Amino acid sequence: METLTVVHLDEALVAVHKPPGLLVHRTALDSKAEDFLLQRLRRQLGQRVYTVHRLDRPTSGVLVFGLTPAHARTLSASFEQRRVEKRYLAVVRGYLEKTGCVDYPLQDEPEQPLREAVTDYRCLARVELPVAVSRYPTSRYSLALVLPRTGRYHQIRRHFHHIHHPLIGDTTHGEGRHNRLFRKRFGVHRLLLHAVALGFPHPDTDAWINVTAPPDRQWRTLMRTLDWPGDDPASIPS
């Protein structure tokens, strides 16, 4: 079982770099899963840890847990009160505008009411590949810095689908033709969505802390191949 990369650890919380494809915890839909991040981390640290937030299974990046129930409750309250700054990197189809905001309500579950969902973004880089995927002789893609203000189910993936810039590697809300291009041309068989940084008040001191999860080797290789920023958190604008 692969050891998780710990990017922050103190007396109140632990932050790890979640690899793509790993469940955070067992769910009703994945009740037979034997390997999930929560279990790995408990074994690795030799103690219980408590869930604060989550990332979708295919998403990689920084994930925070409380080391006691009280710390987890305080951290969770910061998320609910929107005292948390989240920064993601995403690769999407097409050329994005320089900056944008998607304000489009979403349902967390099919039978639940629509709830406010807001995602800001900035286009960091663009590329045009000499490959015909549809009726055009070339294919265009953008690297986005994504700054969600809310945290709805699949929010980033659904919002970029809504504005006709689906994420590459998204098998639920994306486009298969573009996913296949990245698999064939770059060997990328994953969702290109990475939680690169998280800022929040410390549950004991209320001092602001920033935690980063450097992109993994495959992400860095792709960024270098496309001559894009994003292979180091320090290179990404705040």
Mind listing the pLDDT tens digit of every residue in the chain (238 residues)?
Answer: 689 999 999 999 999 999 999 999 866 455 555 678 999 999 999 999 999 999 999 999 999 999 999 999 999 999 999 999 999 999 999 999 999 999 999 998 888 899 999 999 999 999 999 999 988 899 999 999 999 999 999 999 999 999 999 999 999 999 999 999 999 999 999 999 999 999 999 999 999 999 999 999 999 999 999 999 876 655 666 6
Domains within the chain, CATH numbers bracketed: 1-81+192-224 (3.30.2350.10), 88-191 (3.30.2350.10)
Single out the catalytic residue among 56, 204, 216, 232.
56
Phi, psi at 119, each rounded to 5°: -130, 120
CB 82 within 8 A of CB 150: yes
**139 is written with which tokens?**
């294919």
Write down the pTM of the prediction.
Answer: 0.93
For residue 155, the model assigns a pLDDT of 97
Q: Is 216 a catalytic residue?
A: no
Q: List alpha helices for 81-231, DSSP H.
A: 155-162, 176-186, 217-225
Dist CA 136 CA 157 (whole Å) = 24
For residue 18, the model assigns a pLDDT of 97
The CA distances from residue 169 to 54, 59, 104, 172, in Å, are 19, 10, 22, 9
